[in-house]
Amino acid sequence: SILTRKLHILNQAVKSITNSNPSFGERIECLVIDVASQESVRAAAKTVSDKFGTSEALYAIVNNAGTMFTDGPDFSGELKTTLDVNMYGVVSVCDAFIPLIQKDKGRVVMTSSAGGCIGISKISDDAVKQMLISETVTWKDVCESFLNPCMKLAREGGREKLAEARLTVVADNIFSSYFISKAALNAYTTYLGKTHTNLVINGFTPGFIETDLTAHFRERSGRSGSEMGMQGPEEGAKPAMYLLFAEATADFAKIPVSMRPAKNVLPHDPTKGINGRYYGSDGVRSPLDVYRGFGGPPYGD
């Protein structure tokens, strides 16, 4: 199934897929969904369950919806909108769709960002930072100690108030709301992986991908995506495909090239309780609080 907020994007995606392989057309189900609306999410989940049943109707879900603002005069509004899509929307989708996932081998994949690591690196409140990267973090912790204070401070005084509370910095951070949302998403992924041990749940960064989301980078620089080192969307999809389909016990050489990042370690082994992790665009496990570049050494246990 393909779920998106805009019907014309659905139609474009289906056309692209069926042009490459017409037989895929009968296997694609399309639903319009606004992840920022709990009513819309619940309606989409009901549509799926009505058609496919409530028992293990899905193999996996990929949370890919996202938005990003540069910091502007309405920072509190931008933060709320960003969190509604990038964070609370993910929670709504997981709450609604995880009950429909296959219980013994289902997967959840979170499209995150290196911005989450950058966001945590900007936090100088050590208690908050350690909470966000802890393997025992809870969703309640994330809300009460990070997201709720961020939103409250943003309403009271914008980004400067968050900086005073040591939850971000002002000088060199122009995507504060995005960084906050992805830092929280990575922590939520950790939490979800520990509370749904029967599923394989991990997050990843797709890398620097040329999409509508990164258009402002091109506009600000006056350069093309390729001149800035951006990759095409097909490259950004590779780590998602890997986390969706690669088996922990598989021989890496047997994984299709279309799913294989350039450098890799196998991302998970559910039999050993390895879950709720964050991976780079090269498929290698990465830390939550430090940016690890493509091809760098994997983050150890």
pLDDT, the chain, mean? 82
The mean pLDDT of 171-199, rounded to a whole number, is: 88
What pLDDT score was predicted for residue 222? Answer: 79
Can you spell out the DSSP letters for 43-73? HHHHHHHHHH-SSS-BSEEEE---------S
Span of 3-17, 27-41, 57-71 with lowest mean pLDDT:
3-17
Question: Does 6 have pLDDT greater than 80?
Answer: no
Alpha carbons 202 and 281: distance in angstroms, whole number = 13
Share of the chain above pLDDT 70, in %: 82
Question: Does 263 have pLDDT greater than 50?
Answer: no
Question: Does 33 have pLDDT greater than 50?
Answer: yes
| E-only strand ranges, 151-208 | 200-204
What pLDDT score was predicted for residue 141? Answer: 97
pTM of the entire structure? Answer: 0.85
Q: Model confidence over 90-135: pLDDT tens digits?
A: 999 999 999 999 988 899 999 998 889 988 988 999 999 999 999 9
Distance from the first to the final alpha carbon of the chain: 35
Q: Model confidence over 213-260: pLDDT tens digits?
A: 766 777 777 787 777 677 777 787 888 888 888 764 444 444 454 444
Backbone angles phi and psi of 198, in degrees to 5? -80, -15
Q: In sequence order, which residues have a C-beta less than 8 Å from that of residue 79 and are 6 or more positions away?
A: 150, 151, 154, 176, 177, 180
